[in-house]
Amino acid sequence: MGQSRQSIVQALERAGVVAVIRLRDPAALRPVIDALASGGIRAVEVTMTVPQAIDSIADIAPSLPDDVLLGAGTVLDAASAGSAIQAGARFVVSPVFRRDVIAECHRHDRPAIPGCFTPTEILDAWEAGADIVKVFPATPLGPGFFRDVRAPLPQVKLMPTGGVSIENAGDWIRAGAVAVGVGSALVDPRLVAAGDFAAMAGRARQIVDAVRLARERRA
């Protein structure tokens, strides 16, 4: 847990995939994380919409392997960011850009990943200290948006969330994304309800492979 903010950012970039976990039943959280990790996912984001999210992070974080990064998502204010970090979250993701959330994360030496939509908002967040900018919702934009934004702003690290799938994950990476945020394409509520964690692990392997192949071809 002694990683610096910079080393966590580097680990997130190496991971390439951040699994976004939204669940109604917090009891399913650990088996979902274990299934994703068995499929090669090395970064998971537990959203604050999960009941008892902070308590769940505190329960799970100490027993995870060091190379599995547990983060908090859907964080809307600095107090929640601080609570999540104190519970063991190693990075904080938000659907929106809030300067005080970035400041609170950095106070604890943890990465902040705010959500932005427009080029102006993306640059404002980056200049405010965002470690990676989550482009959200990415569904209506497409990978071409990343190419267009990165042409004048090549220094900005971008991660799409919303609409990322096994089929298109590689397209985002080739367009310049440092990682992809993936929700229901990985943590499908139907698989959770059925307890089909083997299928979830299989999906994880597919998307990890897609990101790896895209990076090899981009190189």
Catalytic residues: 45, 134
**CA 81, CA 101: separation in Å to the nearest integer?**
6
Residues with Cβ within 8 Å of residue 82, at least 6 apart in sequence = 104, 107, 108
Provide the pairing of β-strand 92-93 with 115-116. unpaired
Q: Among the residues of the chain, which ranges form H helices?
A: 5-15, 29-38, 53-60, 78-87, 99-107, 119-127, 143-150, 169-174, 189-194, 197-218
- Measured over the CA atoms of residue 36, residue 37, residue 39 and residue 45, the dihedral's sign is positive
Q: Which residue has the tokens 């994950």?
A: 169
Amino acid letter, 171: D
